[in-house]
Structure 1
């Protein structure tokens, strides 16, 4: 699997056989990597893909540029808990959206403190 785009040290985007974006996350996955490099499969902790209807709502690359791996992990834990409580499945795109909300909330909180 080849890297299509490096978002940050922990998040990269690759393409599936239909040229649909797949978001991969893992500690150090994108560190010192470039487009076209082969991905170390052992570093992949999570895989996310978006449905075509979700892609119209936001640009994944732009959202993920500033979001930390920890923000995504927290969002994932929250949504996993919600799935257990409500006995339902949540689409992967919701993890990205919730991560963005968490990141924005933390930025606002930090700006108030400073």
Structure 2
């Protein structure tokens, strides 16, 4: 299974990241995303004085880093029988990338 990351804008004009199989297939900027293809949804809130946006944060993080972070957090959920916030995938991916 291939995972695609798509950076888009929500109804409040905030950047969000969508992940799911086939999200980016035959898509062009401005197209609507099929909601049924979305497996994970991530958003970061930032203030106006912050320099980094979601797209800048993710520009250096590979899909492999995101995949590994997702696997680690899924494993933790299974072991500890709890739900981990989806936003933790971005934070863990960033840490993995910096290793």
TM class by smaller structure: 0.5 to 0.7
Q: Which of 78, 81, 91 is the matching residue for 1:84?
A: 78
SS at 1:63's partner residue?
helix
User: How far apart are residue 44 of structure 1 and its match?
Assistant: 4.2
Aligned residues: 94
SS at 1:37's partner residue?
coil
Is 1:73 matched with 2:49? Answer: no
SS at 1:48's partner residue?
strand
Aligned position for 1:22: 16
SS at 1:23's partner residue?
strand
TM-score for the superposition, normalised by structure 2 = 0.65
Larger relative contact order (Cα-Cα within 8 Å, sequence gap ≥ 6): 2
Structure 2 counterparts to residues 37-52 of structure 1, below 5 A:
37-39=31-33, 44-50=38-44, 52=45
Structure 2 unaligned spans of 5+: none
Most deviating of 20-29 and 61-70? 20-29
Structure 1 unaligned spans of 5+: 1-9, 106-114
Q: Deviations over 1:49-93 (max 9, x none)?
A: 34x4xx469632112112222211110111111122223322222
Distance in 2 (alpha carbons) for counterparts of 1:81 and 1:71: 15
Change (3 A) 1:64 1:30: farther
